[in-house]
Amino acid sequence: MPINKTQALVLRTFDFRETSLIVSFYTKDFGKIHGILKGIRTEPDKFASTLEPFSHNEIIFYQKKNAGLHLVSACDLKNNFLSLRNDMYRFGHASFMMELLDALTPLEDKNEAIFDLTMECLSHMDMNINYEKIPTIYKIKILSLSGFKPHLNSCVCCNDRILSQSKFSNYLGGLLCPRCFKKDVKATLIFRGTVASISYIEKNDLSNNLRLGLNPQIKRELDNLLNSFIEFHLEKKLKTQRVLPYLENVLEKV
C-alpha cells in the first residue's frame, strides 16, 4: 500500500461507528478522495486537526487500490480560515463553494488548478479582500476548469458570430443568435456586458478579476445565469444555494 502526503481541503465529514470519522477531502495531488480517520472521536488528540469544513490540512494516507476509502494516519491543520469562519456571510459563501467543488468533481481525478483556485479564493475571503466578488469569480473559473465551460464565442447552434442581441441556453450550454432563438424556448436574454464579464474572468487571474468593476445589474444577471446553469447541469439545487438568499436577506436587515 503506497503512503502519500498531500495538501487537502475538507469537503464533508461523516461519523463512522462510535469512534471514527469518514472525511471527503479535495487534495492537491489526488483530486477528491475519501479517507477514514480511525479513533478520532474517542481520542480527539490523536490528530492535529478538528477537520472542520473547508479547513486546509496536510494529510498522510495509505492508498488502497480499488477500495475508494483510504486510511488517513496523520492530519495536521495548516489554516482554519478563522476570520472567514467567524463571519456568517463569508462562511455561507465558502460553504457554497465547497459544495459546488464536491458536486462538480469526480473521485480521484487530480486537478491541481482547481485546488489552487479554491485555496486562493478561500485565502482572499479570509483576508477580507473584495470578498463580495469571489463567489461569482469562483463559479466561472471552476465551471471552466471542470469541463462545464459555457460556449460564448459564437452561437452554440450555428456558430455564427453574435453581433446583436443574444440569449443564453442552459440546455444547449451557450449563447444563441436571434435566428436560433427557437432552438430553446426557455433561453433567456443576456446583456453583452454579462457575456464580456464571463469571458474576462475566465481569461484572467484572481488579482486582475478582483479589480474588475461589476455594476449591480450585471452582477445580478451573472449570478442568476450561473446559478441556473449550475442547477441545470447538476440536475439539482445545491443545499447552500437554497439557504444563501435567506442569509443575505437577514444580514441586510441587521
Nearer of residues 114 and 157 to Zn ion, judged by Cβ: 157
Q: Kindly state the smallest distance separating residue 180's Cβ from Zn ion, in Å.
A: 3
Quick one: which of 166, 140, 147 has its CA closest to 155? 166
Nearer of residues 78 and 186 to Zn ion, judged by Cβ: 186
Q: Kindly state the smallest distance separating residue 233's Cβ from Zn ion, in Å.
A: 21
* 216-234 helix and 134-145 helix, angle to the nearest 10 degrees: 40
Q: Kindly state the smallest distance separating residue 167's Cβ from Zn ion, in Å.
A: 10
Q: Kindly state the smallest distance separating residue 178's Cβ from Zn ion, in Å.
A: 8
Q: One-letter amino acid identity for 29?
A: D
| Binding interface with Zn ion (CB under 5 A) | 155, 157-158, 177, 180
Q: Which three cell numbers stand for residue 213?
A: 468593476
Judge whether 176 and 187 are in contact, CB under 8 Å: yes
Nearer of residues 140 and 180 to Zn ion, judged by Cβ: 180
Nearer of residues 184 and 223 to Zn ion, judged by Cβ: 184
Q: Where are the alpha helices (DSSP H) in 78-211?
A: 82-85, 88-104, 112-126, 134-145, 192-203, 206-211
